[in-house]
Structure 1
Amino acid sequence: MGNRPSKSGSGEEPAKTTLFEKEPSGITYRIPALIYLSHCHTFLAFAEKRSSTADHDAKRLVMRRGTLKEDGSVQWSSSQELTTACLPDRRTMNPCPVYEKHSKTLFLFFICVWRNITEKRQIMTGKNKTRLCCVSSSDDGKTWSQTTDLTESVIGEAISKWATFAVGPGHGVQLENGRLIIPAYAYYVPYRCCRVPIPRTVYPRALSIYSEDFGQTWRIGKMLQKKSGECEMAEIIDHEGRSHLYCNARQSGRYRCEALSENSGVYFDKPHIARELVEQRSGCQGSVIGFPAPEFVPNDDTESKACSTSILSPDTQTWLLFMHPTNKCRRKDMGVYLNRSPLHSSGWDKPMIVHKGPSGYSDLAYNGDKDQFACLLECEKEKEHEQIVFMLFSLNDVKQAGSKKEKKMR
């Protein structure tokens, strides 16, 4: 099974390759995560295998390997269950991979939840039934270690203030200084009455789980001081070489939540609403990724003047892509947004629609070898949970889609 990138400027949706599809028995695949390993030209696609679409019916994590060919196509292996990524009597959820380049170790974070206890029940009772877990691989995902339960060593006593928590879902990131970042969120319990959380006071808060020693030990950062749930993070390098960790988080409301950290995820300053990124009423997970801003050499005076504007992002060496359903009311019409000035909240272009119709969770990856992007997304014609597909597209595809929309608005 292969997949080729879309033709730049065609105006058509990128070609789709179905990696996971709902089975006649009712088995469903949800919650995609994607990572590209440049040293072996390989994509790893992860998902949850469930007995139904419901969160409490999650079972195990599954994975497929995609080998990038010289002609730009991707050849996919068959699906395999990650049998070591589990704990007894618990369901495995929220895959979140990150690659540590110094030790050449691939870490896969996830949560294990007690039997069929729902997130809602944990929030209502204030009794956490979730464990923070990880497996690792030293052969690029061909084999995996046994599960390590990190709950006590990483979260520790803070767990007494959490109703529940999760990682990602989606990919983590390694910063230029070597720090590993796993995006996460927790339902913080500020007040209790008779050991039960006071209603309407328990809200999700995004935070990072990070390692300063290449994955040997992990710590938790401080929570965002604003309602924020499922999140992903990306490193932004400005033209002075300084690192800024960007967080893009789900929230129930009309818009996404954004925040920046100037200390590599220990805490995030001044979280704010991103009014160019719509959110459905109950919210939906979204994906974000950073990539090197393309070099620009002005050819004439006009372009020289343009080079000084924010459109060409003079303040950063990094641009961002964000992926999320674009419809204001429902999870549909999956779009990819470009930000050429990622240190400014108003830098998002109009989105390129990559799937017209029902769309859900997604994850982005950047392939620097081919200077192209890849994504996994939940989608289908009638319901977003019917399949998880893989797509390839270029930066030109996104830029041209945004410029066409701007011309139509004039």
Structure 2
Amino acid sequence: MGNAPSKADCGDEPPKTTLFEKEPDGITYRIPALIYLVHSSTFLAFAEKRSSSRDSDAKLIVMRRGVQNADGSVQWLSSEELSTACLPLHRTMNPCPVFEKNTSTLFLFFVCILGHTTEHRQIITGKNKTRLCYVSSGDDGRTWSEAKDLTESVIGQDIGKWATFAVGPGHGVQLENGRLIIPAYAYYIPYRCFSFPVPHTVCPRALTIYSADFGKTWHIGKMLRKKSCECEMAEIIDHEGRSHLYCNARNFGGHRREALSENSGVCFDKPRTARELVEQPRGCQGSVVGFPAPEFIPCEDAENKACDTLSPDTQTWLLFMHPTSKRTRRDMGVYLNRSPLHSRGWDRPRILHCGPSGYSDLAYDPDKDQFSCLMECGKISELEQIAFVSFTLKDVMQTNRKNNNKMC
């Protein structure tokens, strides 16, 4: 099962702008994160700079600033290294930005891992070498604070039960009630034997890191009760004005993992398998963003009953981005969900890149009612570049009308 695209879907790809590209000496840019600052019409694009493609060779976070012009074009400035987003003797990974509107503060969360310690080694030894950190900016990312290590104050003694952990990667979200949400996951150790984890029992679980006081203090939520790894989250507002926090997580076994929280991310109820969202055998990170459901959608065929299905049952729709192939990381697509509180609401994907594709991150511009994304992509390998693409809801819906005959 799964809404995998047909070969015919790989046709009209939107134009791409390369922001980060693999260098001849092997320096590779991976793990994109994107945020759009509405008040200044500015994009901030983040990525890891690595000496090679290996996770253990990550070095630091780089950023590019893009200023959006009135005609929708984006003028990108040159890349800059975030020199304060680091800890001594550690490598910096998994950028995860979120903007706090009340204080106009931009937070950039990340994790710092000691030396070249791999995720696998932490999992088999049960010795966590990862730190939870952030830097903040009060001027839209022009300058940044020194790194703040939250590991003890936020995770505390639970760190002994986590083989390793990470945030995102990708963007966080601020809920309508003001709560800041940083998506995260941890490799939970249920059993130990002579201080080592019992083999094959350690597995990842998604959770939130959240703040209810505009970023002054942070807390961790409860883990999902099923296996779930790298994740992103979005707020869904129903017709009664109630908030639901949606989680979409990397999974294994062919399909994504979904869950909903009714208490702003403290815990998630009844995680479910997203049968319409394919996942590669080893999984891949994906991105999700919520946006206001359109009030009116024109219908070209008044006699087509499919138009009746366009009436939204929530005030929020979702867009999800992920490689669409069932077998390997390729053919990056975006899926639309017009009934996000239901488990079977996803339409067929609109393909943005035919070929090798990897991690991605979505952003929404409410002023222009437009979506933008960063994605790892290339012709031979998804590690060749990180590209920026913009598109509209109409682009996605036209694709579904053409391929699935669901829309008119």
Task: Bin the TM-score by the shorter chain.
Answer: over 0.9
What is the Cα deviation at residue 407 of structure 1? 3.5
Question: CA contact under 8 A between 1:230 and 1:285: conserved in structure 2?
Answer: yes
What is the Cα deviation at residue 312 of structure 1? 2.5
d(CA) in 1 for partners of 2:299, 2:356: 43
Aligned equivalent of 2:225: 225
d(CA) in 2 for partners of 1:127, 1:379: 34
Aligned equivalent of 1:7: none
Aligned equivalent of 1:388: 386
What is the Cα deviation at residue 404 of structure 1? 1.0
Aligned equivalent of 2:181: 181
Instruction: Classify the secondary structure of the residue corresponding to 1:155.
Output: helix
Aligned equivalent of 2:204: 204
d(CA) in 1 for partners of 2:281, 2:42: 37
- 1:363 and 2:343 correspond: no
CA 1:403–1:305: 2 relative to 1, 3 Å? closer
Question: CA contact under 8 A between 1:306 and 1:312: conserved in structure 2?
Answer: no
d(CA) in 1 for partners of 2:114, 2:300: 64
Aligned equivalent of 2:104: 104
d(CA) in 2 for partners of 1:219, 1:110: 15
Deviations 1:251-310 (A, max 9, x none): 12100000000000000000010000000000000000000000027889968976764x
- 1:32 and 2:32 correspond: yes
AA in 1 matched with 2:371: F
d(CA) in 2 for partners of 1:297, 1:56: 48
d(CA) in 1 for partners of 2:332, 2:345: 19
Which structure 2 segments of 5+ residues have no match?
1-9
CA 1:147–1:406: 2 relative to 1, 3 Å? same
d(CA) in 1 for partners of 2:387, 2:265: 31
Q: Trace 1:132-143 onto structure 2 (pairs within 5 A).
A: 132-143=132-143
d(CA) in 2 for partners of 1:124, 1:265: 29
d(CA) in 2 for partners of 1:260, 1:303: 36
CA 1:301–1:230: 2 relative to 1, 3 Å? closer
- Which of 326, 329, 332 in structure 1 is aligned with 2:330? 332
TM-score where L is the length of structure 2 = 0.95
CA 1:302–1:280: 2 relative to 1, 3 Å? same
- Which of 314, 317, 333 in structure 2 is aligned with 1:316? 314
Aligned equivalent of 1:3: none
Aligned equivalent of 1:55: 55
Q: Trace 1:143-292 onto structure 2 (pairs within 5 A).
A: 143-292=143-292
CA 1:389–1:278: 2 relative to 1, 3 Å? same
Question: CA contact under 8 A between 1:11 and 1:401: conserved in structure 2?
Answer: no
What is the Cα deviation at residue 369 of structure 1? 1.2
d(CA) in 2 for partners of 1:293, 1:110: 31
Which structure 1 segments of 5+ residues have no match?
1-9
- Which of 395, 398, 407 in structure 1 is aligned with 2:396? 398
Question: CA contact under 8 A between 2:135 and 2:148: conserved in structure 1?
Answer: yes
What is the Cα deviation at residue 371 of structure 1? 0.6
CA 1:223–1:260: 2 relative to 1, 3 Å? same
d(CA) in 2 for partners of 1:229, 1:38: 30
Instruction: Classify the secondary structure of the residue corresponding to 1:247.
Output: strand
AA in 2 matched with 1:144: W
d(CA) in 2 for partners of 1:19, 1:369: 24
CA 1:299–1:364: 2 relative to 1, 3 Å? closer
d(CA) in 2 for partners of 1:298, 1:23: 47
Aligned equivalent of 2:41: 41
d(CA) in 2 for partners of 1:307, 1:20: 41
AA in 1 matched with 2:259: A
TM-score where L is the length of structure 1 = 0.94
d(CA) in 2 for partners of 1:250, 1:300: 38
d(CA) in 1 for partners of 2:308, 2:368: 28
What is the Cα deviation at residue 71 of structure 1? 1.1
- Which of 345, 350, 353 in structure 2 is aligned with 1:352? 350
Deviations 1:226-268 (A, max 9, x none): 0000000000000100000000000121000000000000000
Q: CA RMSD in A?
A: 1.8
How many residue pairs get matched? 398
Instruction: Classify the secondary structure of the residue corresponding to 1:383.
Output: coil
Instruction: Classify the secondary structure of the residue corresponding to 1:404.
Output: helix
What is the Cα deviation at residue 405 of structure 1? 1.0
Aligned equivalent of 1:5: none
Instruction: Classify the secondary structure of the residue corresponding to 1:183.
Output: strand
CA 1:303–1:96: 2 relative to 1, 3 Å? farther
